[in-house]
Amino acid sequence: MQQANHHQKSRFNMRKHPLFLRTLVGSGLALGLLAGCQQAQPAEASSTPAAATATDNVAVTLAPVQRQALARPIEAAGQLSSETEARLSFKTGGIVRRVLVEEGDYVRQGQLLAALDLTEISAQVSQADQAQAKARRDVERFGRLLADSAAPLEAVQNLRTAYAVAREQARIARFNQQFSEIHAPVAGRIVRKLLNEGELAAPGTPAFFMNATKGPGTWTLKAAVADKDWARLQVGDAAEVRLDAYPDRLFRGRVSRRAAGADPASGTWQIDVRVDAQPGAPLATGLFARATLRPRQQATYHIVPADALVEGEGDDAFVFAPVGRGAGKVRKLPVKVAFLDGSRVYVRAGLDSVPQVVAGGAGFLTEYSTIQVR
């Protein structure tokens, strides 16, 4: 009985003092952690030299930095058009009475292509002529009265002005009558017909698209380029043109025009390339073509292998250059890439006075690496 009471009292005291338990448990955990740390210290100490030497004496190969002055070619694409392409329309509006050609027809210079119904236009000419005749009679009659001092000078002057206005209106009516017909301005081919007989033509609305295709050198490739390429081009620069319609032919050409301003919609700059035609390869408006432009303006580039570049983004990249010979240090240099040509990289900035760069093994290096040249 006494032993039972003693055990109950002990359990009571332990419950009454939970701080003792927490202290004891905490001490045990601390001792365990301390022992674990003491055991882990040798492993950590042994791993430190391996981390420090992970990039030491990296085996690499070096490549010389070459310099070359060249004119980088420019690639452009666009559609072919005629240098003398024209949109033909009526000067005045009216009903189309005759259309004398179809799409694809070859026409001679001055040939009649279409005409309006002249009923209304001829009536306007007649009205203008009659108004002019009446104004002339009024001037003559009041001129005689002025001579007899029976009419004031101001009235006669007003009538003379009215006669001059009527005469000019008659000229306008006859001019409109003359351009109520469409004649071919040059010899060429009808590319598109937009109006048919019986339709109502508004003034200035195109009725035909035509171009002149006689002789070589009358075709133009209209292409868009970036502003940096536009600045490198000059009128007269050579071009090599390939058309999807003739994949096995190479057409020669030259830059004939550079736009004076950018296209507000795309921000690009238009250039015109005059394309020389070839026998047996008829050209047409709208043919798709690609051009390789050869600027005369040259620039000097540094050339390195593509393997030398690391951390490239856009035209920004880095290369590693050796500081000494054999086993030595490296330095990380930022460069500006101009363009790539196969396995060669043309660099426009960042490699001045750098004779060599790391090629093989560059991807394993950091700024703190040491190298061993193979």
Residues 6+ apart with CB under 8 A from 190: 101, 102, 103, 104, 105, 107, 113, 208, 209, 210
Q: For residues 157 and 142, is the Cβ–Cβ distance under 8 A?
A: no
* Domain ranges across the chain: 2-51, 58-69+299-373, 78-83+212-294, 87-209
What are the contacts of 162-166 at 24+ separation with CB within 8 A? 162/135, 162/138, 163/132, 163/135, 163/136, 163/138, 163/139, 165/135, 166/128, 166/131, 166/132, 166/134, 166/135, 166/136
Q: Name the nearest CA neighbour of 316 among 300, 296, 333, 336.
A: 336
CA trace torsion 47, 48, 51, 57 (10° rounding): -110
Q: How far is CA 306 from the centre of its chain?
A: 27
What are phi and psi for residue 71, nearest 5 degrees? -100, 110
pLDDT < 50 positions in the chain: 1-52, 215-217
Q: Name the nearest CA neighbour of 282 among 209, 208, 189, 186.
A: 189
Alpha helices (runs of H) in the chain, residue ranges in sequence order: 2-16, 18-52, 119-147, 153-178, 227-232
Domains 78-83+212-294 and 87-209 share a fold: no
Q: For residues 365 and 55, is the Cβ–Cβ distance under 8 A?
A: yes
58-69+299-373: what CATH class? mainly beta
How many degrees, rounded to 5, is the angle at CA 123 between CA 117 and CA 124? 105
pLDDT for position 318:
95
What are phi and psi for residue 73, nearest 5 degrees? -65, 155
Q: What is the maximum alpha-carbon separation in the chain?
A: 168
pLDDT for position 53:
52
How many degrees, rounded to 5, is the angle at CA 28 between CA 25 and CA 31? 150
Neighbours of 69 (CB within 10 A): 8
Query: Which run of H or of E encompasses 70?
Result: strand 66-70
Query: 115 forms bridges with which residues in the sheet?
Result: 98, 181
Q: Name the nearest CA neighbour of 357 among 62, 66, 59, 60.
A: 62
The DSSP letter of residue 73 is -
CATH topology of domain 78-83+212-294: Elongation Factor Tu (Ef-tu); domain 3 (2.40.30)
CATH topology of domain 87-209: OB fold (Dihydrolipoamide Acetyltransferase, E2P) (2.40.50)
Q: Name the nearest CA neighbour of 258 among 302, 293, 284, 207.
A: 293
The angle, 0 to 180 degrees and rounded to 10, between the axes of the packed helices 18-52 and 2-16 is 60
